[in-house]
């Protein structure tokens, strides 16, 4: 199996462009393992790269496709009965040689880890969709807008006046959202996430818990960004849209709303992972701090990386929670609830 450096070297030799996209569909899949194997064989043949989850409840994919293989990919996917008509969400911004470096397709219990027992409510009873035009109107009239993403995603970009929850996982968010916004049950509420998949489940869950008027942005931030550009609408999203691939973010708003988490002075919305693999902390860094620390999140990680692997791991693991809290407290934003 090739390591990351070898995979990147292979990508550097490519003489074609790739198109980044995501898609999901809640649909019954009788045999996820069989579906996974079929997808892997064909997508490997088409030289597609990405991360795809398959479960009995459907599919969730983030990937890229060589431009010259697009028609073949589209024909293949749309001719699978379970996925016929599935809409694509194309990247707002392409960066680097490739958004993914390999193809991973896994069978999962769920296509999004939500921690919910679907037998206790109706996941299909979702909230109404809101398109970009309605989203802008709702924001202008003061509708409660709830960001259904993790705190590190919202740190670099979010909608105007959005309510941002101090959570690290979608599972944790669903456990808290109905209590944190219980005073809004009789009011209009708007949810959003990256591409829409989390809000499908979240809106159904909130309706089950007594929220009477829940809407969510159709296609998430990605489709909103495309639509406001196509229609020439005001852009109510500020900053970057965090994405779970090598790009780490795509520019939607021109503003930089976050600050370097090391110096806490310079504006930055560039995420990097600490070079110490025992830490691998995801953090925002300005170029100056990235250079000064050589890609590490701290001097401690820089020093410990010179130790034998077991000593390095022991030291980092003992200080991991303290280390993590150091960066959480440094998120620069408003409206955290």
The answer to whether residues 190 and 97 belong to one domain is no
Domains contained in the chain, number: 3
Whole-angstrom distance, CA of residue 253 vs CA of residue 241: 9
Identify the CATH number of the domain in which residue 35 sits: 3.30.70.100
Task: Summarize pLDDT for 87-119 with one digit per residue, the tens.
Answer: 999 999 998 778 999 999 999 999 999 999 999
Residues 6+ apart with CB under 8 A from 219: 87, 89, 195, 196, 226
The answer to whether residues 101 and 142 belong to one domain is no
Mean pLDDT of the chain: 92
Mean pLDDT of 8-31: 95
Residue 68's pLDDT is: 98
Note whether residue 34 is domain-resident. yes
Identify the CATH number of the domain in which residue 212 sits: 3.40.250.10
Note whether residue 317 is domain-resident. yes
The CB density around residue 116, as the number of other CB atoms within 10 Å, is 20
Tokens of 240: 């970057």
Q: Which range marks the domain in which residue 276 is found?
A: 271-328
Note whether residue 129 is domain-resident. yes
216 in Cβ contact with 190 (< 8 Å): yes
Mean pLDDT of 233-247: 96
Q: Which comes out higher in pLDDT, residue 259 or 316?
A: 259
Catalytic residues: 193
Instruction: Please tell me whether residue 24 adopts helix, strand or coil conformation.
Output: strand
Instruction: Please tell me whether residue 296 adopts helix, strand or coil conformation.
Output: coil
pLDDT at 324 over 70: no
The answer to whether residues 77 and 157 belong to one domain is no
Whole-angstrom distance, CA of residue 263 vs CA of residue 226: 34
Whole-angstrom distance, CA of residue 261 vs CA of residue 250: 19
The answer to whether residues 158 and 188 belong to one domain is yes
């Amino acid at each position: 199996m090739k390591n990351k450096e070898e995979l990147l070297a292979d990508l550097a030799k490519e003489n074609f462009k790739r198109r980044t996209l995501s898609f999901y569909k809640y649909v019954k899949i009788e045999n996820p393992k069989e579906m996974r194997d079929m997808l892997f064989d064909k997508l490997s043949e088409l030289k597609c790269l990405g991360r795809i989850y398959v479960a009995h409840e459907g599919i969730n994919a983030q990937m890229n496709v060589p431009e010259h293989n697009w028609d073949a990919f589209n024909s293949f996917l749309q001719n699978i009965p379970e996925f016929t008509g599935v809409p694509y969400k194309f990247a707002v911004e392409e960066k680097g040689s490739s958004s993914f470096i390999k193809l991973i397709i896994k069978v999962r219990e769920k296509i999004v880890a939500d921690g919910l027992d679907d037998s206790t409510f109706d996941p299909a009873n979702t909230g109404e969709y809101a398109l970009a035009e309605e989203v802008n109107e709702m924001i202008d009239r003061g509708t409660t807008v709830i960001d259904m993403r993790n705190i590190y995603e919202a740190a670099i970009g979010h909608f105007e006046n959005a309510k941002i929850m101090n959570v690290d996982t979608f599972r944790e968010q669903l456990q808290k959202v109905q209590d944190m916004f219980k005073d809004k049950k009789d009011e209009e509420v708007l949810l959003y996430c990256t591409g829409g998949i989390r809000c499908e489940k979240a809106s159904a869950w909130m309706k089950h818990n007594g929220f009477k008027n829940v809407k969510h942005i159709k296609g998430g931030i990605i489709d909103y960004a495309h639509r406001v550009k196509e229609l020439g609408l005001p852009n109510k999203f500020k900053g970057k849209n965090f994405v779970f691939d090598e790009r780490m973010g795509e520019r939607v708003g021109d503003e930089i709303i976050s600050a370097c988490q090391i110096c806490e002075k310079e504006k930055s919305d560039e995420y990097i992972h600490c070079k110490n693999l025992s830490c691998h902390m995801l953090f925002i860094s300005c170029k100056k701090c990235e250079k000064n620390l050589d890609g590490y999140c701290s001097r401690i990680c820089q020093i410990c990386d010179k130790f034998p692997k077991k000593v390095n791991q022991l030291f980092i693991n003992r200080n991991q929670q303290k280390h993590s809290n150091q960066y959480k407290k440094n998120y620069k934003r408003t409206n955290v609830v």
